[in-house]
Amino acid sequence: MQNFIFYDIETTGLNIEFDQILQFAAILTDEDLNELDRFEIRCRCLSWVVPSPIALKITNIAPSRLTEPATPTFYEMIEQVWQKLKSWSPAIFIGYNSMKFDEPFLQRAFWQALLPPYLTVSNGNARMDLLPLMQASSHLSQDSFVFPTTPSGNNGFRLDALAPLNGYDHSNAHDALADVEATLHMSKLVATRVPDLWKSAAKHAPKTETVQLLSGREPVLVVEHARADAKMWWWQRIDGRDQGASRATVVNLGTRWENMEAENDENLLKLLRIPSANIRELATNKAPLLFTRKQASNFWGVQMSSDAIDTSKFLISNANFTKRLISLTSLNQQPWPKSAHLEQQIFEGFPSQRDEEIMHDFWRSDWEGRDRLGRSFDDARLKQLAQRLVYECSPGALNAAERDRIQQSIYRRLIVDHGDKKLWRTVPSALRELASQRLSDSEDSILNGFEDWLERRLTHLTLDATRQ
């Protein structure tokens, strides 16, 4: 029996690293997509986060709710989300554009709350994304759905436009629970109207299944969306990583690799830097849409060309050449850059066993105990995360000097106009964004309310800073 967890989030903005989740909703279903349970929760805005007025307008979140005392703190909400999802596990997690948006937000939220961040891909859990399935459906079974049309005349895939055209009243779009219901509705339609696509995607959602499909180094049909069109490519795995690897090196069989065998390493490296060469790392834990030759033929009537078959045979029988490809490709890869800011450091090492034990005990303690445990982490990142958490939820657990230092740091963070769009939103940048929006909608109540809220927050920050 395979259960599914459909989920969605609403956030303070689009910056995965520096914005935060404000609302989380999820629905648990059985393998036939019958609802078993549902969960929804909201939280307050963190002290060091300034929301985007555009995001609040789209999600219809009144500014007064951002600091409502009765609403859980961000950390309290995330702890409840983690506990609920853990109780529903194992399952396949599904969102809409979740691989690029909801999933990284959720991972970072768990990490910042000192909870295991990779819940959706551990302990028997797996993940899917409905957006690629809809994009694939537009190409493989285009008459199964009504798609909105973009200004450029292509099929559109925005959920708030797609769901209503296919029988779902999405008048409350951009509310997390409404978006979850819309995602579940569209998933049921895919399962009914394009069952081969749904069954194959669900079967290969676990990384182990995807790895198994690729393990024989046989050609696979990869279905993905490139720019305005869905694309189908024949790819083949060429690396020999173990079964637990989260990435596989694959090459496009539309490239005549046999014509490159005689090239020296310098020339071959130049050729590999050309985008059309099509050699890349495929994430095996992100549920890529893959089909065997038999499935491609039976499901979609897609056959390999004779050239692709010849290239596949060449790669299988020329291990030395594929090793050269892998070795040279690694020269093009850039090391993960070190980050100056805490929110960007999630992937800079796993916690030690000792730190994992401290994280395990953290949420079982009272606030004084959490403050003490936080100071005992070996990992400096976790120490800082713990102190921020204690400050936000129970500042009285910190001494006066620590509270003053954190308040001063928050003040500098929000008031200094750094001008870097990749970093956090500041009060000055939010005011500029607000002014731009007010030019087109001066009567919007959320925008007007946000201006008042932001001014009060700025006054509060200034008063705190002058007390230092």
- Lowest mean per-residue pLDDT among 12-26, 36-50, 129-143: 129-143
- Tell me, yes or no, whether 46 and 163 share the same domain: yes
Q: Computed from CA positions of residues 121, 8, 425, 407, in that sequence, does the dihedral angle turn out positive or negative?
A: negative
Which residues does residue 232 pair with via DSSP β-bridges, in sequence order?
223
Phi-psi category of residue 174: left, alpha or beta, with phi > 0 → left and psi -120 to 50 → alpha:
left
- Give the amino acid at 179: D
Q: Output the domain CATH number for residue 269.
A: 3.30.1520.20
% of the chain at pLDDT higher than 90: 73
Same domain, 44 and 159: yes
Closest CA to 45 of 58, 25, 61: 61
pLDDT above 70 covers what percent of the chain? 95
Domain boundary residue, one of 163, 195, 227: 195
Position 206, amino acid: P
219 close to 127: Cβ distance less than 8 angstroms: no
Q: Does the residue 200 lie in any domain?
A: no
Q: Partners of 5 in the beta sheet?
A: 28, 93
pLDDT at 468: 47
Other Cβ atoms within 10 Å of 86 Cβ, number: 14
Highest mean pLDDT among 102-116, 197-211, 394-408, 414-428: 102-116
User: Is 172 or 316 the better-scoring residue by pLDDT?
Assistant: 316
**Residue burial 158-185, b: 16+ Cβ < 10 Å; e: rest:** ebbebbbebebebeebbbbbbbbbbbbb
Whether 184 and 245 map to the same domain: the answer is: no
Mean pLDDT check: name the lowest of 113-122, 152-161, 219-228, 356-365.
219-228
Domain-ending residue, one of 302, 332, 362: 332
Dmax over Cα atoms in the chain, in whole Å?
76
What mean pLDDT value characterizes the chain? 91
| Mean pLDDT, range 267-291, rounded to an integer | 85
Question: How far apart are alpha carbons 321 and 354 in whole angstroms?
Answer: 44
Q: Does residue 191 register a pLDDT over 90? A: yes
Task: Report whether the peptide linkage leading into residue 90 is cis, meaning its omega lies within 30 degrees of zero.
Answer: yes
Whether 201 is covered by a domain: the verdict is no
- Model confidence at 271, in pLDDT bands (50, 70, 90)? confident
Banded model confidence at residue 276, pLDDT cuts 50, 70, 90:
low
Given a cut of 80, whether residue 377 has pLDDT beyond it is yes
Question: 174 falls in which pLDDT band (50, 70, 90)?
Answer: confident
Would you state the pLDDT for residue 459?
A: 76
What is the distance between the alpha carbons of residues 49 and 108, in angstroms, rounded to a whole number? 15
Q: Note whether 181 and 328 are same-domain residues.
A: no
Is residue 98 scored above 70 in pLDDT?
A: yes
CA torsion sign, 234 to 240 to 241 to 242? positive
Residues 29 and 174 in one domain: yes
Q: Are residues 176 and 262 in the same domain?
A: no
Say if residue 146 is in the same domain as residue 16: yes
Indicate whether 49 and 189 sit together in one domain. Answer: yes
C-beta separation of 290 from 236 below 8 A = no
User: How high is the pLDDT of residue 464?
Assistant: 55
- Alpha-carbon gap, residue 259 to 311, rounded angstroms: 10
Side chain identity at 223, as an amino acid letter? V
Question: Which 3 state secondary structure label does DSSP give 95?
Answer: strand
207 inside domain: no
pTM: predicted TM-score of the whole model, two decimal places:
0.93
Q: Are residues 292 and 381 in the same domain?
A: no
Characterize 59-73 residue by residue with b for buried, 16 or more Cβ atoms within 10 angstroms of its Cβ, and e for exposed. bebebebbeeeebbb
Query: Alpha-carbon torsion 132, 101, 171, 94, what sign?
Result: positive
Q: Express each pLDDT in 389-425 by its tens digit.
A: 999 999 999 999 999 999 999 989 999 999 899 999 9
**CA nearest 81: which of 47, 136, 43?**
43
Residue 204 lies in a domain: no
Give the closest residue to 73 by CA, choosing from 369, 367, 393.
393
Whichever domain contains 188, its CATH number is 3.30.420.10
More confident call, 452 vs 441: 452
Alpha helices in 263-318 (DSSP H): 265-272, 293-300, 306-316
Classify residue 189: in a domain, yes or no. Answer: yes
Which pLDDT score, from 0 to 100, does residue 1 have? 74
- For the record, the structure tokens of 33 come out as 């997509």
Is residue 208 included in any domain, yes or no?
no
Residues 234, 257, single domain; the answer is: yes
Where in the sequence is the domain holding 322, given as residue range(s)? 214-332
- In tens, the pLDDT along 72-92 reads 999 999 999 999 999 999 999
The CA distance from 305 to 298, in Å, is: 16
pLDDT at position 23 over 60: yes
Q: Give yes or no: residues 359 and 294 share one domain.
A: no
Tell which wins on pLDDT, 65 or 39: 39
Cα–Cα distance for residue pair 434/404, rounded to 1 Å: 30
Q: Of the residues 267, 299, 332, which one is the last residue of a structural domain?
A: 332
Structural domain includes residue 206: no
pLDDT higher than threshold 70 for residue 138? yes
Q: Are residues 261 and 311 in the same domain?
A: yes
Rounded to whole angstroms, how far apart are CA atoms 18 and 424? 5
- The whole-number pLDDT of residue 224 equals 85
Residue 338 lies in a domain: no
User: CA angle, 461 as apex, 455 and 467 as ends, to 5°?
Assistant: 140
DSSP-assigned beta bridge partners for residue 222: 233, 290
Please tell me the total count of domains within the chain.
3
